[in-house]
């Protein structure tokens, strides 16, 4: 499905950034536009089951996550790079192209049975979102969905996130 005009106009594709071969989706124009940001919040928060909180992924996922949480009237929880949050924290490591990285959530942020929506700006291979879903589950939360502004369909993140309900405002390449 074609993206809405306000979204298409708000994303710049930057070739070979941050390294050769990557077509970087720059959402800076979206965040610079108050009206596009408002529309984005409405779209991200649409057609969801009941949720208790939104988890946003560092760093650009914080922006998408917090506007979604505000629109839904629920709290926002940050999934951060290791060492950024005061403990105790739960941690999940995940594979990168070269090496591994990790993400952490404060242990008291999620209670057993909490219904959590995971939000990021872009889902590419799905590895980052998968790590956060695992982290939510480690803390006893239930992932009710993964929502992104953009999904790069050719990278098949949806396959990797198969057990979760994945949706994006713009499925590039679908
Ligand atoms: P992945 O784990 O491969 O799904 O990558 C997702 C993370 O990397 C997200 O947090 C995005 O912010 C970022 N990302 C990956 N590919 C792109 C891209 N082409 N343009 C912008 N951000 C990207």
pLDDT of residue 5: 96
Distance CA 59, CA 65 (A): 10
- Residue 130 has what pLDDT? 97
Predicted pLDDT of residue 103: 98
Report field, pTM of the whole predicted structure over 0.85? yes
Catalytic entry in 13, 95, 97, 160: 97
Q: What angle do CA 76, 58, 86 make, to 5 degrees?
A: 70
CA atoms within 13 A on the CB side of 28: 5
151 CA to centre of ligand 1 in angstroms: 9
Beta strands in 10-133 (DSSP E): 12-15, 23-26, 53-57, 75-79, 89-95, 100-106, 115-123
Whether 142 and 118 have beta carbons less than 8 Å apart is answered as no
Residue from 4, 48, 7, 28 nearest 147 by CA: 48
Res 2: pLDDT: 86
For ligand 1, whether the C-beta of 56 sits within 6 Å is: no
List the structure tokens of 67: 């506007």
Nearest 5°: CA angle at 162, between 52 and 10?
70
pLDDT at residue 98, rounded to an integer = 77
Q: Is residue 25 lining ligand 1, measured as CB closer than 6 Å?
A: yes
- From first to last of its 174 residues, the chain has per-residue pLDDT tens of 789 999 999 999 999 999 999 999 999 999 999 999 999 999 999 999 999 999 999 999 999 999 999 999 999 999 999 999 998 999 999 988 778 999 999 999 999 999 999 999 999 999 999 999 999 999 999 999 999 999 999 999 999 999 999 999 999 997
Q: Is 157 in the pocket of ligand 1 (CB under 6 A)?
A: yes
Atom of ligand 1 nearest to the CA of 127: 2
Other CB atoms within 10 A of residue 88 CB: 9
Task: For residue 97, count CB atoms less than 10 angstroms from its CB and return exposed for 0-12, middle for 13-18, buried for 19 or more.
Answer: exposed
């Amino acid at each position: 499905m074609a993206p809405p005009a306000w979204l298409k106009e708000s994303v710049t594709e930057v070739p070979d950034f941050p390294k050769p071969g990557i077509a970087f989706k720059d959402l800076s124009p979206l965040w610079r536009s108050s009206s596009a940001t408002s529309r984005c919040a409405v779209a991200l928060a649409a057609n969801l089951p009941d949720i208790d909180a939104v988890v946003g992924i560092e760093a650009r996922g914080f922006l998408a996550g917090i506007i979604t949480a505000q629109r839904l009237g629920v709290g926002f929880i940050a999934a951060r790079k290791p060492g950024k949050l005061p403990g105790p924290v739960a941690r999940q490591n995940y594979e990168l192209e070269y090496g591994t990285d990790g993400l952490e959530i404060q242990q008291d942020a999620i209670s057993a049975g909490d219904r959590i929506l995971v939000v990021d700006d872009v889902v590419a291979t799905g590895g980052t979102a998968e790590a956060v879903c695992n982290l939510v589950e480690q803390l006893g939360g239930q992932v009710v969905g993964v929502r992104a502004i953009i999904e790069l369909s050719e990278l098949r993140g949806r396959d990797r996130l198969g057990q979760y309900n994945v949706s994006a405002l713009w499925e590039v390449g679908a």
